Structure 1
Amino acid sequence: MDSADGGAPVSNLITGGKFIGDTIQAQYVSINQYQQVDTRPRHTPNAAPAPPGFLADRDLIRARLDEAVAGLGSRSSPLVVALTGPPGIGKTDLALHWAKGHLQGFPGGVLYVDMSPSGAFEPRDTAGALETLHQQLDTRPDELPSDVSALSAYYRARTSAEPCLVFLDGLVTPGPVKELLPGHPASLVLITSRSELGGLRHTVERPVSMRVGALDDASCTQVFLYYAESDSGALSPQDADRLSEVVATFRGRPAAARVAGARAADLSAGGHLGTLFPAPTEPPPGPQPYSAPEEPAMNPHFAASYAALDAPAQRVVRALGRHPARECADELIDALAGGAAPGASVRSALLAAQLLERPAPGRVRMGGAVHDWAGTLAPENPAEESELLATQASWYLHRAAAAAHLVSKRWRIGSLFAHPALLNGVFTSEEQALDAMEADLENAVAVARILHEAQRYGEVCELTEALRDTFFRRKHPTRWIESARLGAEAAERLLDEATDRAARQSAWLLLARMRFELAFAHYDRGGESGLAAAHRHYTDALDAAKQAGHARTQSSALEGLGMVALQHERPLEARELFLQALQALGDIDHPRGRALLHYHLGRAASAAHRHDEAAEQLLDARRRFAALPDRYNEARALTRYAQARLAAGDPDEAVRRLDEALPLFAGRTAPKEEADARLVRGDAYRAKGESERARADWQSALDAYDALGSLWSGVARSRLGELAQGE
């Protein structure tokens, strides 16, 4: 779709288990039934962050966890265990350490979702959590269902073969848990939460709740000495006498003990506890700095560790406290610190101080209690708040634009895309770019939300457009739609603020583009509600593009409306809209856009059973793609043409054209599309009565689908089964 912008999205959306029917649709497929057991090759995830290096005590809770899972094999539904307690008490550390020692009991793997990635009281929505789980299960993003109930059903099917451990970290409310239960009854759902989750028993069957309390002084001493790289026998008499007073200030919080211990790691170099931790005094009257209402006891230790840092590291701590999520990429630290070299130094200092953790290579994370505290730090000067937001926004925008530039050369309105040289060198490959951006998609959308609240509407629109290509390739439809919605709302604000004629025309164009992006996100998600929303927003985009006098966007919006009409099985209406889209292009030099519109015209004609017209349009599209050259879309056009000829009763012509198409896929990194072509050629051979050739193509398609983990393997398997029965 989006031919006037140079994109060519293909959505093979399959919303369920076994394929019903005889025909393959290469553009958009909805399958609404789920097999109870998913028979595709297994992908075993291990998505949990690495646990911290040391855990003291917790023997009683670990024993209770061991006892709870001992009976998993006899259960009829997954066991739900909630570890609750205040911030800094070590719930997540305990859960990660316990899970690491019990992986053998969960051959289906370990899944992990941060249920409050943007703050302790901002819950992740259920659809977003399910999309994250599907990503970890390696579900093909173009086969994700379009609504929460279907996402949940598909997730249960994907987790039905073997017991798995699902870790829901930082759950705010119990509402999402029911939809996040895996399919195998011997699975475990392990929850951490600051809340008591009193309503959990109304959501799932017989949950187990375990309160994580304060550590005793002996255990706090162990934590402190571990991170101080010391032991009690190595302490001087002066320090040994002081140690019990220091430990008492932790109030049983391992987070405080860990940070304080890291600060005391220089004891062997001649320091002593009396210097680092002076005897407590009565606090002065009035409000205390850096106090979070939930856990003021830890804050003096966080503040002391912060005070020992140099100025660049302190600035990064303040910035991370304002960052909407607790986890980020190493490169963001580099940007906040002023470059790669100082960034590496700052990371080392913050990791050593235990103000940051290393959950995975290339990623850093602030613990929840530290992040809460860092968010209360006052800026160094009045301008810092805005400067830190600008730095974060610029970093996410530049990365998103660099990834988009690698993925597609489609036309864009954003200012960064006018200077492509600035986008080179950020990533070494398209795959690396998409992997890096996917890890930060949630953060980027959260930054867009903050920019919107700060009324920095132009930056919101630029970020929305730049993120679109990563979203299209890796999906995450809930976040995609949110990002596009923010962009559309920001463009509306800019239009409201525009005063002179030129500013209003520019704002109308921006609004047209943002409404188009929102429509495209809804269309790609699919489903009846998605298509209805897409139609509404494409119509709005068309109206805004007419106000702006922008023919290219008018053509794109008309094309989008045509795609919606095709999905609603109104091919003649779609045909008319595609013709209008071609006409709207006028004399704009855009041969690839015209080729795509002729391709869509061929699809519409085929759906309307106008077989000769379909053949003419699809061969025209093939010639246009070949002239660009664009081998991938040339092969797609030939595959679609072959389907049209097969539907018209000409299997010989279908086979001949598919013989031309298949070599064009070579080297195109398009295994799914190549498998589709082989499946269609198998159909054509079967129509010709050549069963052995049909079997060979269907088996080849099945092998490819299985390797991809695609639900289309059910289509090929069904073909082979029917052939065997017929013999």
Structure 2
Amino acid sequence: MGSAVDPEIVALGSIVISSLVGNAVQDAWTWGKGRLVALFVRDGAEEAAVGDELEQARRQALEAEEAGDEDTVTEITDEWSSRVLELFAERPDAVREVRELVGEALTRATPAEASLALLHYVNHTALFREMDGHWRACRAAGTLTSVFLSGVRGVGKRSTAQQWIHSHRDVLFGVFLQADLGMQGGRMVDPAVVLERWLDELDVPRDERPGDVPAKARRVRHELRDRSVVFLLENVTTTRQVRDLLTDQPYGVVLMTGQEAPHDLTTYLEFLPLPVPALRDEHALELLVKVSRTTEDPAKLEPIVRHLGGLPLALRLIAGHLKAPVPGVIEDVGARLADRAARQELLDVDDPNPLPEALELAYGRMAVRTAQLYRRLGLLICEDFQLDTVFALVPDWEPSEARTALSTLISGGLVERRGLDAYRMHILVHDHASIVAERDETESEREAVRRRIVHHFLRITERGEQTLSTRWLYSPMNAFPADTAADERRQTEALRELARREAGIFAAVRLAAEAGLHLEAWRLSQAIRTFCLRTGRDTQWIEAAEIGLASALETGDTMAVARASYEVGFAHLERWNLEEGDSRLAREHFEQALSLVNPGVPGRTEGERRTESSVLEGLGLLERKLKRPGHAIDLFSRAQAALEGIDHPRGEALLALHLGSTYTALERHDAAEGELLRAVEEFEGLPDGPDRFNMAKARLRLAENRRACGRLREAVEALDLAVDGMTGVGSAYYAAQALLLRGDVRVQLGEREAAVEDWTSARSLFAEEGSIHEGEAQHRLEREGGEEE
């Protein structure tokens, strides 16, 4: 079944069942049960029977989970997941319903995941007492609470931070911002990447996200003003990493982890340094017993504990073997560890720990298929993954076999469940999985797995891009036109799914290039554009686009090189960090792309002409940003000419919108009026239905033009249509702009009360969108001496 069905579809069935039948809390179960019953039942008479079945399955799963009976939990999950897959085969429309159900479950789960506590956690009472005392003292003094948890790898620094946050979750309400600053893909994480993700999480409007790092940091601080915030910064190695990330909010909390605090961190930040010690033997024994759920005499485990150096990660790895009721397993594990310790003295806690032997022992005892999945996860460049990635790695397995292997890795401490359909390997475990993949897989096997990984993420990314955008994409095998425009619900779903997989997607671009899959690398870099545009992932976008360009050059496909050059240029144009030279780099790449599509040469392909038009549009936008509207007009006009004879109504409409706005800047108001009216008409008449958002945006620009030439009453008429057109299409930010402008025009017309009403509405919408323009609306209200409530 696995090879015949899209891995994402197979995963859907497992996710919805594991979230609602497995360990879902009662309110989530109450919310989801009716939705799940409705999937299986079309005849109302069967509802009660199916509901009873689900209730019974839930009770059995919870009892089995409590008793440590993982086989029963797996059996229940497999049975109901199979029923969902059968439902998909009978009713393909059910896939959409399950996508919605899973999406809602993911959304509901997100707040709780920020402060997940470990199921089994022991000791560190003294450590928590010090953290609590420092936190109370800082709150009393009105200063930021900062703590640096240091210690060897595997000692449980992140778990300690999470446990402390969880234990204070009722008080630490507000914003939770997390970042892993460790090595990823062989490089240290760029603070710009973290800031861009945080700006997206804080819902800062895309048009207001700055290009340079200091400005990004200032905007994050602005969003956090007067808000309680908790930072969790993991694997900190340098002061530079954290310098731009932190706020000076007096009631904020900053928890940092790392092997040791950077020597110069005290010059930037006052913090409490707290080494996280290895567990004492009695506490290590307690953790081992709890995690393994063993019924053996704890005294028999003491030799094992002494060999594991008190490292929670090593203890959790070994606990996985003790769950199996095999006679002699305790003695065997103890002997293996003792022998390793005697030979290489790995068990001194001050040494880089006893994990190598614990990992080898865990790997050596795996069943064949569990070991195979472990190795294949090691070939992923990133440590985070989702269930559909697991299914994609083992396409020839039955879904139940893949779920069983994953469950075994989880129960053995090799994979951590981070939330609903979110999994992670500790970096040390991932490193080991990579090593054994290189050691125990043939080169051809590794190559096949890497190709499978890349194709999995390419399929997800191109499908997401076509949902988010109607733009034309190029492929030498299929120069395909855009899909019809997706509705807002589908676009929201696509953004959420791409965001959950972004680590894997960006890693897949690098993996494809390193594996020599150059066609796939540049196609991936082409397909991430709209996701990056919508979410502000500028730094990762530029890096991926540059990798895509290098791979396009390797393919020898001139058209691919032109498209990839255009993508790099557009990424720099969007970031617009002048200190980084974005204006120069954007121009250089646009001009390179233009030179490759033979402007003015007869008999060119449609792809070449489309690319010429896109590049000229990009150059026009560049000139407009540089305040040179005259140059921009010429470039937009040439972009229009390149499309003559090509059926591309959306492109023509966008160019008319650009031209109209630029003519306004040149005070050529009649020309602007004509282009903007044409843009409205063309957006309304698109073959796949009216583009209401861009129609409203064109009317907003039309109103700006009319106001500039004194046609105030006609400007209000255009703004009325703009405000109405933006309602309900996810464009509150632009609706607020239209209301702000309408208020300004109404004041000029002497309609003060109506203006105050507009500004009040604009202020509310800007506040909802987290926009700094809220202050502009407030200033107008104060200037007029009142506001309507």
- TM-score in terms of structure 1 length: 0.84
| Alpha-carbon distance between aligned partners in 2 of 1:689 and 1:722, rounded to the nearest angstrom | 15
Structure 2 residue 561 is matched with structure 1 residue 511: yes
| Alpha-carbon distance between aligned partners in 2 of 1:726 and 1:174, rounded to the nearest angstrom | 47
1:366 to 407, 425, 429: 425
| Alpha-carbon distance between aligned partners in 2 of 1:145 and 1:438, rounded to the nearest angstrom | 20
Deviation for aligned residue 1:659: 2.8
| Counterpart for residue 16 of structure 1 | none
| Alpha-carbon distance between aligned partners in 1 of 2:121 and 2:477, rounded to the nearest angstrom | 47
Q: Is the 8 A contact 2:572 2:583 kept in 1?
A: yes
| Counterpart for residue 151 of structure 1 | 216
Post-superposition CA distance 1:91-129 (Å, at most 9, x none): 11111111211234534332211112626x632111112
| Counterpart for residue 215 of structure 1 | 279
Q: Is the 8 A contact 1:214 1:253 kept in 2?
A: yes
SS state at 1:683 partner: helix
Deviation for aligned residue 1:221: 0.5
Structure 2 residue 589 is matched with structure 1 residue 537: yes
Q: Is the 8 A contact 1:523 1:530 kept in 2?
A: yes
Structure 2 letter corresponding to 1:52: L
Deviation for aligned residue 1:388: 1.9
Distance verdict in 2 for CA 1:613–1:449, change over 3 Å: same
1:168 to 208, 212, 233: 233
| Counterpart for residue 24 of structure 1 | none
Post-superposition CA distance 1:418-445 (Å, at most 9, x none): 67999999x9822122112112223322
| Counterpart for residue 500 of structure 1 | none
Structure 2 residue 675 is matched with structure 1 residue 617: yes
State how 1:319-330 maps to structure 2 within 5 Å: 319-330=376-387
| Counterpart for residue 516 of structure 2 | 455
Deviation for aligned residue 1:586: 2.9
| Alpha-carbon distance between aligned partners in 2 of 1:116 and 1:189, rounded to the nearest angstrom | 17
Post-superposition CA distance 1:670-690 (Å, at most 9, x none): 222222222222222222111
Q: Is the 8 A contact 1:401 1:417 kept in 2?
A: no
SS state at 1:724 partner: coil
Distance verdict in 2 for CA 1:382–1:492, change over 3 Å: closer
| Counterpart for residue 134 of structure 1 | 199
1:331 to 383, 388, 393: 388
State how 1:403-482 maps to structure 2 within 5 Å: 403-414=464-475, 429-482=490-543
SS state at 2:149 partner: strand
Q: Is the 8 A contact 1:50 1:358 kept in 2?
A: no
Distance verdict in 2 for CA 1:172–1:546, change over 3 Å: farther
Deviation for aligned residue 1:471: 1.0
Post-superposition CA distance 1:604-642 (Å, at most 9, x none): 110001111111111122222222233322222122111
| Alpha-carbon distance between aligned partners in 2 of 1:657 and 1:565, rounded to the nearest angstrom | 27
Q: Is the 8 A contact 1:558 1:580 kept in 2?
A: yes
Deviation for aligned residue 1:647: 0.8
SS state at 2:323 partner: helix
| Counterpart for residue 19 of structure 2 | none
| Counterpart for residue 630 of structure 2 | 572
Deviation for aligned residue 1:79: 3.7
Distance verdict in 2 for CA 1:389–1:538, change over 3 Å: same
Distance verdict in 2 for CA 1:531–1:429, change over 3 Å: same
Structure 2 residue 407 is matched with structure 1 residue 348: yes
| Alpha-carbon distance between aligned partners in 1 of 2:587 and 2:180, rounded to the nearest angstrom | 34
Higher helix share: 2
Post-superposition CA distance 1:524-573 (Å, at most 9, x none): 12243433332222222212222895111111111111111111111111
1:522 to 560, 572, 588: 572
| Counterpart for residue 177 of structure 2 | 111
Structure 2 letter corresponding to 1:316: L
| Counterpart for residue 359 of structure 2 | 302
SS state at 1:359 partner: strand
Deviation for aligned residue 1:75: 4.8
Q: Is the 8 A contact 1:405 1:417 kept in 2?
A: no
Distance verdict in 2 for CA 1:285–1:69, change over 3 Å: closer
State how 1:1-400 maps to structure 2 within 5 Å: 48=114, 50-75=116-141, 78-116=144-182, 118=184, 122-202=187-267, 204-230=268-294, 234-236=295-297, 240=298, 242-267=300-325, 273-278=330-335, 282=339, 295=352, 297-338=354-395, 340-377=399-436, 378-400=439-461
Distance verdict in 2 for CA 1:286–1:89, change over 3 Å: closer
| Counterpart for residue 501 of structure 1 | none
| Alpha-carbon distance between aligned partners in 2 of 1:229 and 1:468, rounded to the nearest angstrom | 48
Structure 2 residue 649 is matched with structure 1 residue 591: yes
Structure 2 letter corresponding to 1:641: L
Distance verdict in 2 for CA 1:85–1:420, change over 3 Å: farther
| Alpha-carbon distance between aligned partners in 1 of 2:367 and 2:384, rounded to the nearest angstrom | 22
| Alpha-carbon distance between aligned partners in 1 of 2:747 and 2:629, rounded to the nearest angstrom | 28
| Alpha-carbon distance between aligned partners in 2 of 1:138 and 1:428, rounded to the nearest angstrom | 18
RCO comparison, higher one (Cα < 8 Å, 6+): 1
Structure 1 residues 129-138 or 411-420, which shifts more? 411-420
| Alpha-carbon distance between aligned partners in 1 of 2:480 and 2:513, rounded to the nearest angstrom | 25
Q: Is the 8 A contact 2:182 2:188 kept in 1?
A: yes
SS state at 1:637 partner: helix
Distance verdict in 2 for CA 1:726–1:53, change over 3 Å: closer
1:602 to 643, 649, 660: 660
Q: Is the 8 A contact 2:318 2:358 kept in 1?
A: yes
Distance verdict in 2 for CA 1:726–1:349, change over 3 Å: closer
Q: Is the 8 A contact 1:108 1:159 kept in 2?
A: no
Post-superposition CA distance 1:442-462 (Å, at most 9, x none): 332222123223332211101
Structure 1 residues 150-159 or 44-53, which shifts more? 44-53
| Alpha-carbon distance between aligned partners in 1 of 2:670 and 2:650, rounded to the nearest angstrom | 23
| Alpha-carbon distance between aligned partners in 2 of 1:437 and 1:64, rounded to the nearest angstrom | 40
Deviation for aligned residue 1:259: 1.6
Deviation for aligned residue 1:574: 0.8
Distance verdict in 2 for CA 1:180–1:345, change over 3 Å: same
Distance verdict in 2 for CA 1:117–1:320, change over 3 Å: farther
| Alpha-carbon distance between aligned partners in 2 of 1:610 and 1:279, rounded to the nearest angstrom | 83
Q: Is the 8 A contact 1:72 1:187 kept in 2?
A: no
2:750 to 686, 689, 696: 689
Deviation for aligned residue 1:47: 6.8
| Counterpart for residue 35 of structure 1 | none
Q: Is the 8 A contact 2:640 2:655 kept in 1?
A: yes
| Alpha-carbon distance between aligned partners in 2 of 1:482 and 1:105, rounded to the nearest angstrom | 40
Distance verdict in 2 for CA 1:479–1:417, change over 3 Å: farther
Q: Alpha carbon RMSD of aligned pairs, Å?
A: 3.0
Post-superposition CA distance 1:126-175 (Å, at most 9, x none): 11121223233333333211111101111122223134221101123222
Structure 2 letter corresponding to 1:300: E
Structure 1 residues 44-53 or 255-264, which shifts more? 44-53
Structure 2 letter corresponding to 1:156: R
SS state at 2:522 partner: helix
SS state at 1:191 partner: strand
Q: Is the 8 A contact 1:445 1:482 kept in 2?
A: no
Structure 1 letter corresponding to 2:762: A
Identity %: 28
Deviation for aligned residue 1:60: 2.5
Deviation for aligned residue 1:399: 0.7
Deviation for aligned residue 1:74: 4.8
Unaligned 5+ segments in structure 1 are 1-43, 496-506
Q: Is the 8 A contact 1:512 1:544 kept in 2?
A: yes
Q: Is the 8 A contact 1:214 1:251 kept in 2?
A: yes
